[in-house]
Every structure is written in structure tokens, then in C-alpha cells.
Structure 1
Amino acid sequence: MKIGFISTEGGAVVSIPQMREGAEAAVEYVNKNGGGIGGRPIELVVCKQQEEPTSATKCANDLVEKKVAAVLSPGTSQGSAIVPIVAGAGIPYVTLNGVSAVELTSPDAAALSAGLPGTITAMATAAKSKNMKTFTIFASDGGGMGAMINAMGVPIFQGAGVELKVVPIALGVPDPTPLVTSGLSTKPEGVSVIADAATCTSVYKAIQVTDPNVQKVFIPVCLDPNVTEIIGMDAVAGSIGVTATDYLSDKPDSVLYRSIIQAYAPKTAVTGAASSGYQVLMALVRASSGIQGDVTSASIKQSLKTTKNVEMPAGGGITFSCDGSAAPQMASICSSQMLIGEINDQGVPVNLQVTG
């Protein structure tokens, strides 16, 4: 049975082969130990795209031609190019991290992780846990993201008793220091950045210069080693991290994750991007476990739409339900939950608690 996997690889700006390696490790394990989906072994059909529309569109068309039963993506900025083609062929699209509007609202898409609403809720929970009263988010402003975060975030933070200010950072700003200095002029008790890795790096560098002691909350993108190596682990360790993955605990599901990566992708770091490929593949397997008879695009889609409280693989207790109940305004989002925990000296959140 063919399952498509769109991998972000080979681009001049971004290439994350670890996502594919995590998914391939999961497939090997499932085929050898779990019987695939509905007793049928999984054939992972990988297509590599470079995070730009041409290659993403080509991947979507290629996977439709190869008659895959579902298309998986750990996360991409190219959902608006991929989903209409895949959905138009009646094939369900499953992503771990939905970004584009079509990934969050299409009836043919399932976004397993809590995404932006869950991330903001986790930030507000973190701020409340540290008794903060004021908080500033520096938000990359592509596609009106700053306004969206403001509209969504202010009431969520208000509910936690925290006043939120959102500072938009225009895409491609060579030096955000003036914006950061302005954003910190009101002396917020906590800050975070919602942006791509490059913007994370430049904004956190400016924060370290302007107010190095302000409390910080980091999203997964900003904990990428490429970011933390530049801003320095001193700026990161001891802060709060938001994540959807329990990499290091002794919970059985996390132990299983580490053992599978170590067995089938031994050169791949367990605390890196491999987790997202692993999670999206294993989540599909779990959500499809009740399929009787033929495993088809239609039966997978139906199985996804009826999932309730399925445990996210290596998710530290997060569950997902793809029946539209998690975020009514964004029917494709399958969970409202994220994890928060203190970041250790390796840049990994630990001692995690579920939020949302």
C-alpha cells in the first residue's frame, strides 16, 4: 500500500532530510512489527521538494499519478500549492504542523498538532506559570501573520491574566534591532518569537543585546541547533520551551520512539527533526488501526474523521481528534494541546506538562 511523503530536501535555503529519515525508520518498524496499515505493509513513496511552489506542485502531481492512498507532510510552507492538487484527487493530506489556511480548513486535510492556536495557548500558560503580567511576541509578518497572532493571542493571554503586545517583524529585515528595542521599551516580563529560523536568530540576538535577562519562551523552530549555536546556549537554557514532542522522558511511547530511531536511523539525532517525520507516520498508523477491509484513500479519510483521543506518538500525553472539535474555526486542526517544559543545557525542553 502506497503512502506519499513530501520531504523538504535539496533547497538552497532549507533542507531537512531528518524528517524523511524519521518516517522511514517508523515504516521499517511498523512493517516488521505491526503489519503496516490494515495488515498491509506500507510502501513509502518519497518526493523531495525545495520549499518553493514549482517543486512542491510537481511533488503533489507525482504522488497523485502514483495513486498513493494518503499524502503526509511533517510541515511545509507550501501547503497552498500541495493540498488543492492532492484533495482534488480525493486523497487525504495529513500534516503534523499546518501553516497555510488550506491546511487548517480543508475537509481533506488533517493537521495533527495544535499549530498556532495551541502554541499561543502554551505560551500564555507558560507566562502565567511564571507569574508574568506582561508579555511581548515578536512575529514574522509574512501573509499578515502579525495581525493574526494579535487577534488570536490577545484574548488567550487575557484569559491567563497576562497583557500581550505583538510586534510585527517584516520579512527580510536585515537588522530587527530597532524594532526589538522598541518592543522591549515597555519592559515586558516575558518575550517570545514566532518566526522562521533566520528571524528567530536575528531577533533573539537583538534581545540578548537589549535585555538579556528578560524571561523567554521558545517555539521549536527557534530551538533548532542552527539558531541556538548562534545566540548561545546561555540565552536558552533555563527558559521555557514549547514543543509537541517528548524526546527524552521514560514514558513508554518516548522510549519506543528513541529505540526505533536508534535501530533504523542510527546516524540521526533523536532530538532533531526526525521526530516530526516519525510522528506523522505513526499517527496515521494509529488513526487507521480500525480500518476493516480495503485500505483506500476513502477509508483512511473516513478513519481520520472519526478519530477521537488518539495518543500522539512520542507526544508526552498529547491526544488528537480529527473530527473538527479541537478548533472549530479551523476544522482541520486535530488537537489543542502542546507541551511546555524547562529547556536543558542541550536546548531540549524536559519535565514536560500538557497544555490546552
Structure 2
Amino acid sequence: MTTRGRVRRLRPLAGMSALLVVGAVGVAACADDESADADAQVASTSVLPDNPATGAAVKVGFVSTEGGAAVSLPEMRQGAEAAVEYLNKNGGGIAGKPVELVVCKQQEEPTSAAACANQFVEQKVAAVLSPGTSQGPAIVPIVVGAGIPYVTLNGVAPIELTSPEVAALSAGLPGTLTAAATAAQQEGMSKFTFFASDGGGIAAMIDQMGKPIFQGFGVELDVVPVALGVPDPTPVVTAGLAGNPDGVSFIGDAATCTSVLKAVQTTAPTMKKVLIPTCLDESVVKALGIGNVEGNIGITATDALSDRPDSVLFRSILAQYAPELSPTGYGSTGYQTVMALAGATAGITGEVTAASIREALRTAENVEMPAGGGITFTCNGSAFPMMPSICSKQMLIGKIDDKGIPVDLTVTGT
């Protein structure tokens, strides 16, 4: 899907592999423009409430991945800005106070990312939000060193997954593996193969983390590394399928996913697939053909099109404040990050500060992820004790429809 808000697509660069692998799992799958717009039009919306925020504004920093040569996703910022408009005019703000979103655009490289972190400190923001970036190592030490809590939808770097001053709201890689294992069990699979881009040690992480997870679901897991930039992965795929798995998945960038799944399609055309959103990107689906995607299982953390009240609210807010964004695009990540902060801090009384936000994040339990299909988060370090920043074990799985979107979603990791 190429939404009107998407000005540049991700390109499969080695330095971006971690962001593509983990950050993308929070994005709803994308169909083409016309089908996605049609879905959005028939999906219900509602009248927004009338509960304007009052008092002194709370400054909140927002890391926008925008303007770089490799990647630019302004719709993440646009989704966040729509959420702020809603909170200030309709939704009671953060603990009753309006939000001033301090946006800083960084280009997915350390210099601009560190400059943003320093800007947030200078602006004395009460929290820093990020839908997901590969530049956590450049941002987090500066921000948390100044006593500012850092909230990311998708934690990528180790510092974003282990720091007590970080709240990584979504389940990330551990949750993706749990969702894939759940899908494999539900589909009656006994053996499963994960192909994984070998950049940044991702394949080794999946092997170490994934095997015990799959074993807990009674499924044997084999992890097959795929070298970044390999021109033809067919020999690797053929070797990976030699053990006759019942299903496969891939974690990595969209271009490599295309080549791997094409090789799977050629070698084992009836093989069942469990696909993360990167592998449901417009370019992948177009290359494979919707007939080779439809009916398989998709993983996501966003419920954009159901009739759940939080999904209806999401669409209604976009319709009012960001009509150029599709509900099934990357704008959902910025929206979810802002709205999740508002949900987690709803119990704050008195002044909204970095300290009160930090305490609210640590103590809030089972907060519903906005447009999350029933996913909840609790940021007390209990979700994955080895990665205490991660706040949830839950993801969504569903059958992929004829537009390349997972539907009839169920929550995994409960």
C-alpha cells in the first residue's frame, strides 16, 4: 500500500535491518491504495467526544524518522500529531493537561539522533516518544541521563530492551516469535522453519530465543540465516526446506523477504506461511501475487479495521485530524505511541512531570493498547524478565484476506 502520506519507502540497507525486523511488527499489513481506502471507507467511525484539555501544556518529545537518504516515514509523525489534536480538543489531554508535541526529525544516523536527544533535554520535555528507531543507542543515554522517561512502541537496541528508564510498549521480537509459535500450533504444525536476515545477529537471536518458545508449543524450530544482499537465496531456502517443515516464516527486510518467499514458492508451492507485516508490504505481495499470500497467517500489533471501540476511535480520529492517512499505514505507530502514553498516565494527579510519568508507567497495569485488538501492556518488567523494558507479551494473528491484511484477529501471548 502506498498511502498519500508515504513519501518514501524503506530500502533494505544492512544498517536498518534491526529496525525493519523488530520495528515493523507493530504496523498493520498494507494492501494497495484502492483496496485499503475502500476498507477504511466502509469501516465505521463515530463522533468524537467533547472533553478539551485545560491548564499548562505538557511538553512531550517525539522522535520522527524523517528526511534521511535511506528511510523517511513522515506518516508516523502525522499519526502522532493527529492523536495530540484529539487529546487536546476532545480526549482530555494527558491527565487533563494539553500536550505540546516537540517534534525532532532525525535521519536514522547517530549525529542527527543525538542532536534530537539534546534538543529534548534543552526543551525540558516530560517524556520522549518514539514509534521505533535503530538509533536508540544515540538517543537513550542522553534522554534518560537527564531523568526523562523514554517510551518506544518498538524497542530495537539492547539499551531499549533492558534499561529501567525505558518503556518498550509492544512485544517486539519475543512477542513475534510467540505469535508465530501460536499460529504454528493452531495450524497443526510439528516442524517450523524461520528464515532470517543475518544482519545484526538477528538469526542467532531468533535461534536462541525462539527454540524454547516453539518447544513450549510442541513445535520443533529450525532457524536458517540468509546473508544480507544475497542475489539468489534459492540454495539456502532449498537446504532449509530439506527437513520437510510444515510451515515457514521470514524475519528481515521486504526485499529479502520477497526473494526468500519466491524461492519457497518455487520449491514448495503449498507450504504454509506465517508472515510479519514486513512480508505483507505492498512490494512483497505484488511480487508474490495475492493468491500466494491469502489464507496464510499474518502477525500484527494493530487492529485498524474491526468494530472494536478503540479501533473505531482510531479511524474517527484519523478521519478528523489526518484524513490523508490510511488506517492500515505507518501512521498507526505514531498514534499508538501517543495514545498509549495518555492511557498509562491517566491516573496522575497534580503536576505532570518526568517523575510522575515515570512512576505512572512503572505502576500502570493492563493498559489497553490503542487500536491494539485487545493487547494490553504493563511496564513493571514482568513480561520478559530478561528484557525488562518490554511491557507486553501479546501480539495479534489472523488469516490474511484478499487484500493482504490479517483479519479476524486473536490475541497471542496471554
Report the secondary structure of 2:153's partner residue.
strand
Distance 1:199 1:52, change over 3 A: farther
Q: Cα deviation per residue 1:101-126 (whole Å; 9 max; x = unaligned)?
A: 11110011000001111110110000
Instruction: Measure the CA separation in 2 of the matches of 1:325 and 1:11.
Output: 36
1:124 equivalenced with 2:184 (yes/no): no
Report the secondary structure of 1:272's partner residue.
coil
Deviation at 1:61, TM superposition (A): 1.6
Deviation at 1:329, TM superposition (A): 0.9
* Alignment partner of 2:399 out of 342, 345, 353: 342
Structure 1 unaligned blocks of 5 or more: none
Report the secondary structure of 2:131's partner residue.
strand
RMSD of aligned alpha carbons: 1.3
Could you tell me which residue of structure 2 aligns to residue 299 of structure 1?
356
- TM-score normalized by structure 2? 0.84
* Alignment partner of 2:137 out of 65, 80, 90: 80
Instruction: Measure the CA separation in 2 of the matches of 1:260 and 1:122.
Output: 29
1:248 equivalenced with 2:305 (yes/no): yes
Could you tell me which residue of structure 2 aligns to residue 27 of structure 1?
84
1:136 equivalenced with 2:202 (yes/no): no
1:216 equivalenced with 2:273 (yes/no): yes
Deviation at 1:12, TM superposition (A): 2.0
* Alignment partner of 1:204 out of 253, 258, 261: 261
Deviation at 1:100, TM superposition (A): 0.9
Deviation at 1:29, TM superposition (A): 0.6
1:53 equivalenced with 2:110 (yes/no): yes
Mapping of 1:214-293 within 5 angstroms? 214-293=271-350
Could you tell me which residue of structure 1 aligns to residue 148 of structure 2?
91
Report the secondary structure of 1:171's partner residue.
coil
Instruction: Measure the CA separation in 1 of the matches of 2:270 and 2:117.
Output: 46
Could you tell me which residue of structure 2 aligns to residue 150 of structure 1?
207
Q: Cα deviation per residue 1:226-254 (whole Å; 9 max; x = unaligned)?
A: 33233322221111011111111111111
Deviation at 1:39, TM superposition (A): 1.9
Deviation at 1:13, TM superposition (A): 2.2
Could you tell me which residue of structure 2 aligns to residue 314 of structure 1?
371
Q: Which amino acid aligns with 1:109?
A: V
Instruction: Measure the CA separation in 2 of the matches of 1:177 and 1:13.
Output: 27
Could you tell me which residue of structure 2 aligns to residue 174 of structure 1?
231
Report the secondary structure of 1:341's partner residue.
strand
Mapping of 1:103-114 within 5 angstroms? 103-114=160-171
Q: Which has the higher contact order (CA 8 A, sep 6+)?
A: 2
Percent of pairs identical after alignment? 69
Deviation at 1:184, TM superposition (A): 1.6
Instruction: Measure the CA separation in 2 of the matches of 1:214 and 1:267.
Output: 37
Deviation at 1:132, TM superposition (A): 0.6
Instruction: Measure the CA separation in 1 of the matches of 2:362 and 2:189.
Output: 39
* Alignment partner of 2:158 out of 92, 97, 101: 101
Deviation at 1:46, TM superposition (A): 1.1
Q: Which amino acid aligns with 1:331?
A: P
1:332 equivalenced with 2:389 (yes/no): yes
Q: Cα deviation per residue 1:103-153 (whole Å; 9 max; x = unaligned)?
A: 110011000001111110110000010101110001122222111111111
Instruction: Measure the CA separation in 2 of the matches of 1:121 and 1:133.
Output: 15
Instruction: Measure the CA separation in 2 of the matches of 1:38 and 1:347.
Output: 38
Instruction: Measure the CA separation in 2 of the matches of 1:48 and 1:200.
Output: 28
Q: Which amino acid aligns with 2:92?
A: G
Q: How many residues align?
A: 356
List structure 1 segments (4+ residues) > 6 angstroms apart after TM superposition: none
Could you tell me which residue of structure 2 aligns to residue 184 of structure 1?
241
Structure 2 unaligned blocks of 5 or more: 1-57
Distance 1:14 1:232, change over 3 A: farther
Instruction: Measure the CA separation in 2 of the matches of 1:35 and 1:133.
Output: 49
Q: Which amino acid aligns with 1:241?
A: G
Instruction: Measure the CA separation in 1 of the matches of 2:106 and 2:232.
Output: 29
Report the secondary structure of 1:138's partner residue.
strand
Instruction: Measure the CA separation in 2 of the matches of 1:205 and 1:65.
Output: 49
Q: Which amino acid aligns with 1:64?
A: V
